[in-house]
Amino acid sequence: MIVASGLVKRFTSGNDVVTAVDGISFHVKSGEVYGLLGPNGAGKTTTLRMIMGMLEPDEGYAEVGGIRTGRDSTSVRGQIGHVSSNDGVYPWLSVREMLLYFADLYDVAPKKAEQRIAYLSELLDLKKFIDQRSATLSTGQKQRVSLARGLVHDPPVMLLDEPTRGLDVLGSKVIFEFIGILRKQGKAVLVSTHRLDEAERLCDRFGLLNRGHIEHEGTLPELKEATGHAHLVDMFLDLLGYRGSMETIPWQT
């Protein structure tokens, strides 16, 4: 469902050219959760933006459902649900009004939209606040609404960009359960995160990203065999040549 092939993205900063993504290739199948992992600044979000068609690659291409993102970005975005650390709720709309609004943006028929919202309300436990103004919701409730917004058009692909940033233990638990639901529904899920301990619990396969390169890729057993380390954190410490204090690890926030 998701294919990234030789993606390269460069940015100009003054007289310098910075290569944020340098030849990244991977794929994600239906029913699979793929973790694109790395420290801050590794190129994770830039890669997701190229997959969504928000950035044009300088080299290579991305496909979603067999459609090149550069050729038909509108159709591609219709196949993608996007969830980020930003709750993205509209404070003056009720939850129901906001979900209906996004369903309309994705050209979901009104009757179908009502059915989807009823289903998502049950799935994500929105019923108690579905008609409540979004500004009055708690952080955890806003995150549930953000998840529902990403699913309102029933996309086959979900992109989650740092979905647990800023959440407490209960909020993170909602994300874990949500990803489990997506896997059971057969959706292709791409999770971009620097929370390596969480990724070990969530993902079926991993791409370990550092300075715009995928250094290792595979299942956790495959990565253990390739690197000689038991945990993702230790694998990255080795990649970064880290030997100092834990306080300087770049993915700790």
Q: Give the CA distances from residue 27 to residues 32, 54, 57, 199, 245, in Å, rounded to whole numbers and listed in that order.
A: 10, 19, 17, 17, 35
Whether 66 and 142 share a structural domain: no
Final residue in a domain of this structure, among 154, 171, 204: 154
What is the CB-side half-sphere exposure of residue 8 using CA atoms within 13 A?
Answer: 10
Whether 181 and 148 share a structural domain: no
Whether 140 and 220 share a structural domain: no
Number of domains in the chain: 2
Q: How far out from the chain centre does Cα 40 lie?
A: 15
Please provide the DSSP assignment of 30-69 as one string: TT-EEEEE-STTSSHHHHHHHHTTSS--SEEEEEETTEET
Query: To 10 degrees, the CA torsion angle through 146, 150, 153, 159?
Result: 180
pLDDT tens digit sequence for 27-79:
999 999 999 998 888 899 899 999 998 899 999 999 998 888 877 777 888 89
**53: left (phi > 0), else alpha (psi -120 to 50), else beta?**
left
pLDDT tens digit sequence for 160-201:
988 877 677 777 788 888 888 899 999 999 998 877 888 888
CB atoms inside a 10 Å sphere around CB 23: 14
CB atoms inside a 10 Å sphere around CB 135: 11
Whether 164 and 200 share a structural domain: yes
Whether 146 and 197 share a structural domain: no
| DSSP code, position 133 | B
Under a CB-based contact definition with an 8 Å cutoff, are residues 220 and 235 in contact?
no
Q: What pLDDT does residue 59 have? A: 96
Please provide the DSSP assignment of 83-122 as one string: EESS----TTSBHHHHHHHHHHHTT--HHHHHHHHHHHHH
Under a CB-based contact definition with an 8 Å cutoff, are residues 158 and 189 in contact?
yes
Domain assignment present for residue 51? The answer is yes
pLDDT tens digit sequence for 205-249:
999 998 899 999 999 999 999 999 998 989 988 887 765 544 445
Nearest alpha carbon to residue 150 among 172, 167, 133, 175: 175
Pairing of strands 2-13, 80-84: unpaired
Final residue in a domain of this structure, among 115, 133, 154: 154
Domain assignment present for residue 13? The answer is yes
Cβ-proximal residues to 77 (8 Å cutoff; 6+ apart), any chain: 52, 53
Q: What pLDDT does residue 87 have? A: 63
Here the contacts of 199-204 (C-beta below 8 Å, separation 24 or greater) are 199/35, 199/37, 199/232, 200/231, 200/232, 201/176, 202/33, 202/35, 202/176, 203/33, 203/34, 203/35, 204/32, 204/33, 204/34
The two tokens of residue 65 are 């459902």
Nearest alpha carbon to residue 189 among 154, 219, 217, 157: 157
Q: What pLDDT does residue 250 have? A: 53
Query: What pTM value is reported for the model?
Result: 0.87
Domain assignment present for residue 253? The answer is no
Final residue in a domain of this structure, among 139, 154, 169: 154
Whether 162 and 220 share a structural domain: yes
At 54, which CATH number? 3.40.50.300
